[in-house]
Homo-oligomer: A and B are copies of this chain.
Amino acid sequence: MKKDFFSTKLAEDVLATFSSFSPINQEVVTLEEGLNRVLAKDFYAPEDLPGFCRSTMDGYAVKAEDTFGASEAVPVWLTVVGEIKMGEVPSFTLKRGETVRIFTGGMLPEGANAVVMVEHTQLLDGTTVEVFKPVAPLQNVILADEDFAKDSLVLPKGHRLRPQDLGVLAAFGQQKIKVYKRPLVAIISTGDEVISIQENPRPGQVRDVNSYTLSALVEEAGGIPLRMGIVRDDPKALRSVCQEAIARADVVLISGGSSVGMRDFTLDIIKSFPESEILCHGIAISPGKPTIFARVGEKAIWGLPGQVASAIIVFFVFVRRFIQWIGGERHFPLKAFKTIKARMKTNVPSVQGREDYLRVRIMQEDNTFWAEPILGKSGLINTLVKADGLVKIDWSSEGLDKGEEVEVILF
């Protein structure tokens, strides 16, 4: 009987090998191109923001002391000496008993230290206003350095830029930003049975699903896909395409290799490159066990299972995080969450000693999410089309019970 030739690693040990890879190069992009890019250096505030003292309300800028004791019954009367124009520096200094009309975002004049909301005032004539409520110093005011103080850390290196982060960079006038390059990921589809999507398959042939699925997964992970086409089950052809892929890309994905022979020679081909090292050959997860992870110098090679569902799950659990890692992202644990809590609709047995990734569909009933397992063979793509996400069954678990709460990683 054929023995198991895999030297299998636990999932966490595979993830631990990532740290031996450094982030790839950096580049400068415009702010408009910055969404979802990863900052390549800490960004410190070059100046105070907003840089001047602003009103947060429509109302009247005052010396707070002048309003102390004001009430509906005994209002305070102040002399209106003008109106603050938006975007302009007030040309006067407020004296005791004086006030100016001000709008949200307007700059406080010298001598003012608070703003009374317009709702708590009544204009008697062009020059006198009644104030019905006192304000404390600094009330309804943003200080010059209240948003960010000069030299404070605004965004750390390794942070993926969200819309609000671009907003703050705009506020500081950063037209260009230094980010990590998007990892270039070469995708090689292998198999004598695989044809291009332009062709009509004869019985026995299938169209190239993995190139399209993996390209889109690479895009989602922040990488740039580079399709290398379909390679026949021929060691020479595969080695030559691999060599080109290693030269051009940061990461090489080889999918397919469906025959046992092909799997064997994929490993031999990787070993044949100088500076190559097999980091893992087999991972204790299901589906996805026959995964290869190797390095050739600073470049990484992933040999993915040929079964389409297995390839997608291995990508989701490992390759995606790897692309984020070499793309310099260091805050991904929280950002990567795209999960919901749900309860299992049925019991699901599992085998101890490996992580199982169960495809599930989510249903909402009585304000609860229910996760229904989508069972099916790894060679079928319909299970992933019907599924909303994956549930991880820990390697030490014997399975999930009906009603048990689980975390679903959403697609």
Chain A positions near chain B (C-beta within 8 angstroms) = 1-2, 31-32, 34-35, 49-52, 54, 56, 58, 85-90, 103-107, 118-122, 132, 142, 146-148, 154-155, 162-175, 191-195, 197-217, 219-220, 233, 258-260, 306-308, 312, 334-335, 337-341, 362, 364, 377-382, 384-385, 388, 410-411
CB of A380 within 8 A of CB of B147, answer yes
Could you show 7 A-B contacts with beta carbons less than 8 Å apart?
A: A1-B120, A56-B307, A86-B204, A163-B214, A163-B215, A169-B212, A175-B198
- The smallest C-beta distance from A356 to any residue of chain B, in angstroms, reads 18
18 more A-B residue pairs beyond the given contacts A103-B260, A105-B379, A168-B382, with a C-beta to C-beta distance below 8 A: A1-B132, A34-B216, A87-B195, A104-B306, A104-B307, A105-B191, A105-B206, A107-B203, A146-B380, A163-B213, A163-B216, A164-B213, A164-B312, A164-B381, A170-B208, A172-B207, A334-B362, A337-B338
CB of B334 within 8 A of CB of A379, answer no
Residue of B nearest to A174 (CB): B197
- Bound CA span A104–B194, Å: 13
Chain B residues near A341: list those with CB within 8 A: 341
CB of A192 within 8 A of CB of B306, answer no
- The smallest C-beta distance from A160 to any residue of chain B, in angstroms, reads 10
- The smallest C-beta distance from A204 to any residue of chain B, in angstroms, reads 4
- The smallest C-beta distance from A248 to any residue of chain B, in angstroms, reads 18
CB of B170 within 8 A of CB of A211, answer yes
Q: Which of B132, B206, B210 contacts A50 (CB 8 A)?
A: B206
